[in-house]
Amino acid sequence: MQSRISSALVAIILMFLTSATFGQMPAKSEAGPTAAPTKEMIELRQVGYAANYNLDYATARVKFEEIRKRWPQHPAGDLYLANIIWLEHLYKLRRLQTGLYQNESFYAGFEGSKENSEQGDSVEAKVDREFRALMAAAKTKALTLVNANRTDPFAKYYLGAIYSILAAYEASTARKFWSAMRNGSKGIEAHQQVLKLKPDFYDAYLSVGLYDYVIGNLPFPVKALIAMGGVRGNKERGIKQLNSILEHEADNADDARVMLIGIYQNENKPEAALAILKDFTTRYPNNFLFRLEMASVLAQLNRKEETIAAFESLIKEAGTNSPAAKSMDLIRFQYAEALVKQNQFEKAAAQFINASKETNAEPGLATMAVLRAGQVYDLAEQRDEAIAQYKMVLSRPNVYDSREQAQKGLKQPFKKA
């Protein structure tokens, strides 16, 4: 039962991570004392939002910094700047692909851990310092607005978004999962209050809908256990709430679409995920990550020739001066995983090895690529090559549970689940 409980907690963490992947902004304004954004603020936010989706973090920073300077008492500028700092850091760490968070290795150390002794991972000092300073400023401003008008849904919305992004940062960057759950719970509570005050505040349905879906999708024994604490969900209702954001074209409709990509894959509806991704690749042509995700969905659909063509196209593009050029390690890693699904083990191992040897390979991803190469060589029944890769993992810095997995591989051949 303990492992099932931990799995449930991990699922909830994932919800908070994805629900804060992109900045959110209400699209309406109301009369009276309110934290509702002005028309000019919304326009700046929309430009920054589009830049963010196109991986143009420099432009996004400029627009969000302007919000912070022109409206110094509002939390939006600090919140969006912090969000961009975090997202750009995840991009550099190759952690903007959803597949990473479906890998149990990412949660190594969480099982059996305790909240008061959670260590987590060290984060680049400059990134951590800037992010936390901006979030502290945003939280102070949001609380001031909430205290000034406790019936203002916009003030509560921003406060909930702050807690949600803190949760996402702790889970994805610092791997402090207990802290992520604590902040995430506060974010959900705030957005539930928003909907009580203003039921048509569709932006708030992003976190609330995901909460419903994730809790409703848990195994029955886990749902029964957490229901005793008043935690309940319904996955059908959650999906409906997310789709209501699209139906009303709320400000964070694209964020909801990103969430639905993952949900549709989980619900074995890859065609629905593919339709959203095709739309994204048209509207955000500079974001190669959407095309990379689309290639992975094609693999899930077992459309082999299209899968290979999609990955080869990305590799060809990476040879030019494009954003993909700096993420060749990630492209090859995902390509290798797709080849594993096709049982092309030798080709997959070669791509994993190539990923680890890329000039700009992110060290953590490179270690995982070496580990996966060993495991895939085992699947290809090339034991000597597998052992060589496992030994190489042991000579590299430990990432998640990479050394533990390598030691297991040295004792006995890896088997595909």
- Dihedrals φ, ψ of 29, to 5°? -130, 150
Kindly report the number of other CB atoms within 10 A of residue 197's CB atom.
Answer: 16
pLDDT number for residue 101:
63
- d(C-alpha 251, C-alpha 194), whole Å: 15
pLDDT score, position 31: 42
Residue 319: other Cβ atoms inside 10 A: 10
CA pair distance 111, 408, nearest whole angstrom: 18
**What per-residue confidence (pLDDT) applies to 102?**
65
Provide the b/e sequence for 231-260 (b: ≥16 CB within 10 Å): bebebeebbebbeebeeeebbbbbbbbbbb
Residue identified by tokens 């975090």 is 86
- Residue 27: the pLDDT is 40
pLDDT at 20: 41
> Within 10 Å of residue 38's Cβ, how many Cβ atoms?
13
Give the residue from 132, 214, 226, 140 showing the smallest Cα distance to 179: 132
Per-residue pLDDT tens listing for the chain (417 residues): 334 334 444 444 444 444 443 434 444 444 446 899 999 999 999 999 999 999 999 999 999 999 999 999 999 999 999 999 999 999 998 888 766 666 667 666 665 566 666 677 788 999 999 999 999 999 999 999 999 999 999 999 999 999 989 988 988 888 888 888 788 889 989 999 999 999 999 999 998 888 888 777 766 665 665 555 555 778 899 999 999 999 999 888 998 998 899 889 888 999 999 999 999 999 999 999 999 999 999 999 999 999 999 999 999 987 777 888 889 999 999 999 999 999 999 999 999 999 999 988 999 999 999 999 999 999 999 999 999 999 999 999 898 889 999 999 999 999 987
SS3 343: coil
The token pair at 391 is: 């030994």
For 25, residues 6+ apart whose C-beta sits below 8 A from its C-beta are 37, 41, 42, 45, 49, 76, 203, 251, 252
Q: Note the pLDDT of residue 184.
A: 82
Conformational region of residue 22, where left means phi above 0, alpha means psi within -120 to 50, and beta covers everything else: beta
- Enclosing H/E stretch for 236: helix 235-247
pLDDT at 34: 84
Give the residue carrying structure tokens 């899930």.
300
- Global pTM value: 0.86
Classified as helix, coil or strand, 74 is coil
Looking at residue 223, what is its pLDDT? 61
Residue reference for tokens 């992947």: 21
Q: In degrees, to the nearest 5, what angle opens at C-alpha 47 toward C-alphas 98 and 324? A: 40
